[in-house]
Structure 1
């Protein structure tokens, strides 16, 4: 076997994959547990009354902060990816990110204004180091076994969704039913477990992810024969200006809203200063992007334009899809009848018990398989992992017993957000079979179907909210509408989310992958911030026309973008030059 071969990782396997994959699986699971667990509580905490120990913010202020937070989370991945690639390596980037996120969750548990803002800042930076580099380690581990890579990513993303699902249920329950600090703190506890487990077991990855060493003969640049177009001085200056404007805006916009204009870096530009700043940044970005496209060969340029088209569609998708932790959670909290009794309460208790116990049971079984392979060499990592599962099982059983013993059961508002992960785990294999069949649609049609499903979900909640009068602050809409929203939105996500990054890797020349991934994550970040901007206006629209009108507007936007995607199919197909 060749000295540099990654076949060495297959000497110790679990379910036919390297044991190292499952170290990453559990590390990522606890990170997603913490991220989604905290995120499910953020808007609820900010808008909860002082009587309920929240901050009593208007929804507009909460959504402004939330939008900037999730937008910065995705922007930070470009920074983390750069540091990992050029300076510290994937492995230490993961450790730095996990440590910063642990400190961020601990800071949020204190619940003072300075600690919440500090915590969010640490979470943003930590996520930037962590998120892009876990998948990079997997890619390196399977470099000589490409036929196994799809299965590896499937297993990995099961861990992602399992962590998100359990995190939302447990952190949400503790935060809403016991105390916000416990919900935020629990997220930090399991991030810490993930950090320690990864640190103690990191030797299982051999030399993968260590500090990068330059090797010109094997570099991507050396292997790529396409025309090189380095960034010139004026282009770098332009990038600096638009990055500075963008970062200032994404931080200043919520600060201006929350402080009622007292804090406004762009105040010298007038009342529309924030809008002028971000439109200027976007304008400069488009100028640079178009100019650089003109510098490449015609085939490369065509493929880059196709990627940019899908990135633009993704902005709208994420802006509407990410209403989940914002306006949809507010709708669940204030406008949905979550009180159950009698037979309906018993049905929920049984269903919820199955939803919690079955995934935890399956993951615990995988944990036992990992122990059999790695306990001798990585005893302490396995003991930390065992302790984390004992704690999570304890909290889960305690929660379920409480729900069975309560006479009047109330579903936590955050619980509905967990349905997204549940539906992904359930439906992903079906969609995967569809994509592998002869009926596999083109990229444009997939995007179109995804946007139509997104619109259908919003139409469900809009229809369910039809009886809510303009200006109403509470209502008792059936929970079925929210369940349908998450079902259709998850199906839409399965059509769009995996497709985008796949086409970046297929259409973009190897040495430009990093730049175009940056463009892609910028589009996602804009979409995330757009979700906050939509949410900021929910009360204005609801007071004038009713909250149903707000969701109908999102339905129309979704369907319109879906139509555009399908109409442009012949043009984009030509630009892709045979890539499917």
Structure 2
């Protein structure tokens, strides 16, 4: 195949989209299974007492490490995007990333201090190679069908959240109820499955993602008539300085807190050394960015300015949205009544069974649709993917049987208990895992993503700014719910028994907010950025996400300080106000950004 066109990929569609989209769907699904499964456990593992297998850290230290980890995960996409663009191609970048992440999860399963830190490092670099290049492949597949990109990214995002749902549900359950190493280890197993099925199905992408050759680079340059602006030596020095300062800061921030100040790279700058370093790095970056804008053609410059505007809004979105594995998980663990008895117990068990089995059945149906188009050509990949689903079905059914038996609603023989490795004990109650609430985000996305996809493809598709405004407004509404629910918790309280309904409402509104912003943002990057810059600009986009992730950690670090002084509700009301402010700002800026986008919707 000498050239990839939209028509070629749409010859044998699945649900109106190329079969290759669903190969990426399942690859990303298992990668997100591993990422979110491990991440859901990280804060709990770090703050749990040593008696229960944790490290017994303070919430401040745990949030500092969490913020730096997830920030570095997205920051590393800059490196992965560069290597894919210039050296190894999208496909090899995905495989290298998957292997590194598999090793990272295996390392964390060992639970020693060295292995945990090593695992986090491997996961950071693995995500950097993997993440930006999956979306880059989609962008290439739909380059001649831009009107279908929003729908494609939303469906892809459904796969992302299917993986997140099952990862949090199963890894979280095993980690909390069986042992931390089981949760960490399970994440690595499915990352390995995802890598195998991607590699064995790669021919479905035609020429997309192959290692760049001299010919392909020359052809891309010939097609791109936009003005070239190579970095000058001075600009490269500024970039290097910014990167070094930023990297040292994001590593030094948790290290200085965890070590009690014994490790402090910026100690020579005084008590506020960390702040001085990061403000200097951001200042240099902004100056360079503004100067670079002046060097492009007018239309390209304005489109890049629009991308930068949305990236700026995205920072605030993720800083607040990512309270889910941080302050909201703490709220679920310590301040929410999670023990259910009687009718509430059986109701939860039935609902939990339905939300486990039904999504798994839907995804299995999507799998069967993919097999109907690809099985003959990709038998081994189909076998690997089928095996992974058989294992998932087995673990899910085991979990449900264990919960029904423990709560006293199911009778199992001694032989069956031994076969299933279930302890012979009943409690006549159900304790909802703290990580369970995080699954609601993914569950709601699986349910709502098709509706939002249709909305974006209809004549009622709102403008980019309105989407962001709606998303930030919904984010504020969700935070207002938990703030209202926490209203009765006194300042300084370490525990409480708030109703679970407030967390359920938070995740419902935050899910709708996410559907308005996250997949749509990726789509706008692919539409507004010149082709030669696409993978790198996805990396730049993830840089904004990285700042937001670190911001989420910094918010989480202050939860105890604010709660002790003003009460926990005050903390969540602050996040509500920030979200509302950004929502209004996005809507007000609509006329300006619309001009900068030059007709792109």
TM-score normalised over the length of structure 1: 0.94
DSSP 3-state at the match of 1:325:
coil
1:242-286 deviations in Å (ceiling 9; x for gaps): 001111111111101111111111111111111111111000001
Comparing 472-481 with 508-517, greater Cα deviation is found at: 508-517
User: 2-side partners of 1:14 and 1:299: how far apart?
Assistant: 36
1:558 is matched with which residue: 579, 585, 598? 579
Q: Distance in 1 between matches of 2:595 and 2:6?
A: 38
How far does the alpha carbon of each residue in 1:380-434 deviate from its partner, in whole angstroms, 9 at most, with x for none?
3332222222211111001111121222101111011111111112222333343
Q: 1:353 maps to what in 2?
A: 353
Q: CA deviation at 1:521?
A: 1.8
Q: Where does 1:14-53 land on structure 2 (aligned, <5 Å)? A: 14-15=14-15, 17-53=17-53
Whether 1:362 aligns to 2:383 is: no
The two structures, once aligned, show a CA RMSD in angstroms of 2.3
Written as runs of structure 1 = structure 2, the 5 A alignment for 1:275-424 is 275-405=275-405, 406=407, 407-424=428-445
- Following superposition, the deviation at residue 132 of structure 1 comes to 1.5
Distance 1:414 1:269 in 2: 40
Q: Report Cα offsets for 1:198-227 as digits up to 9, x if no partner.
A: 333334444432211123786443333333
Residue in 1 aligned with 2:503? 482
CA distance in 2, matches of 1:257, 1:511: 41
Any unmatched runs of 5+ in structure 1? none
C-alpha separation in 2, matches of 1:491 and 1:434? 13
How many angstroms apart in 2 are the aligned matches of 1:16 and 1:464?
43
- Assess if the C-alpha contact under 8 Å between 2:336 and 2:499 holds in 1: yes
SS of 1:209's partner is: coil
Is contact 2:132–2:538 with CA below 8 Å preserved after alignment?
no
Whether the 8 Å contact between 1:252 and 1:264 is mirrored in structure 2 is: yes
Which of 323-332 and 561-570 deviates more?
561-570
How far residue 19 of structure 1 moved from its aligned partner, in angstroms, is 4.2
Q: How far, CA to CA, are the matches of 1:142 and 1:515 in structure 2?
A: 18
* SS of corresponding position for 1:470: coil
Paired with 1:335 and 1:16, the residues of 2 have a C-alpha distance of: 45
* Counterparts in 2 of 1:243 and 1:217: CA distance versus 1, 3 Å: closer
Matched, 1:543 2:564: yes
Map Cα deviations across residues 122-164 of structure 1 (whole Å, 9 max, x no partner): 0010011111122333344455666765554444332211111
> Match for residue 258 of structure 1?
258
The equivalent residue for 2:480 is: 459
Structure-1 separation of matches of 2:452 and 2:81: 30
Name the counterpart of 2:522.
501
C-alpha contact 2:150 2:453 (8 A) present in aligned 1: no
Structure 1 226/426 Cα, relative in aligned 2: closer, same or farther at 3 Å? same
Cα distance, 1:540–1:441 mapped onto 2, change above 3 Å: same
Shift, 1:488, TM fit: 0.9
Q: 1:426 aligns with which of 447, 450, 455?
A: 447
Instruction: Supply the distance in 1 between the matched residues of 2:530 and 2:205 (Cα, whole angstroms).
Output: 28
Separation in 1, partners of 2:97, 2:271: 38
Deviation at 1:544, TM superposition (A): 0.9
Mapped partners of 2:6, 2:455: distance in 1: 31
1:82 and 2:88 aligned: no
Residues 133, 535 of structure 2: 8 Å contact kept: no
Contact kept? 1:81, 1:129, Cα under 8 Å: yes
The answer as to 2:544 corresponding to 1:523 is: yes
Partners of 1:421 and 1:429 in 2: how far apart? 13
Whole-angstrom distance in 2 between the partners of 1:320 and 1:371: 39
Mapped to 1, the partners of 2:11 and 2:576 lie a distance apart of 51
CA distance in 1, matches of 2:11, 2:20: 11
Q: CA deviation at 1:527?
A: 0.5
74 and 559 in structure 1: CA distance in 2 versus 1, 3 angstrom threshold: same
Residue 13 of structure 1: how far off its partner (Å):
5.4
Report what 1:235 is aligned to.
Answer: 235
- CA offsets per residue over residues 426-472 of structure 1, 9 Å max, x none? 22233334334444333222222211111111111011001111111
Report if aligned partners of 1:216, 1:222 keep a CA contact under 8 Å in 2. no
Deviations 1:270-315 (A, max 9, x none): 1111111111100000110111122234444333333222221111
**Residue 568 (1) aligns with residue 600 (2):** no
Deviations 1:76-125 (A, max 9, x none): 11111111111111111111111100000000011111111100110010
Corresponding residue of 2:421: none
Q: Residue 4 of structure 1: CA displacement?
A: 5.7
TM-score (norm 2): 0.91
CA apart distance, 1:14 = 4.4
3-state SS of 1:540 partner? helix
In structure 2, list runs of 5 or more residues that go unmatched. Answer: 408-427
Distance 1:496 1:210 in 2: 30
- State the aligned residue count: 580
Q: Which residue of 2 aligns with 1:99?
A: 99
> Partner of 1:449 in structure 2?
470
How far the C-alpha of 1:189 sits from its partner, in A, is 1.1
Superposed CA offset, 1:9-55 (max 9, x none): 56665445554443322222111111111111110110111121111
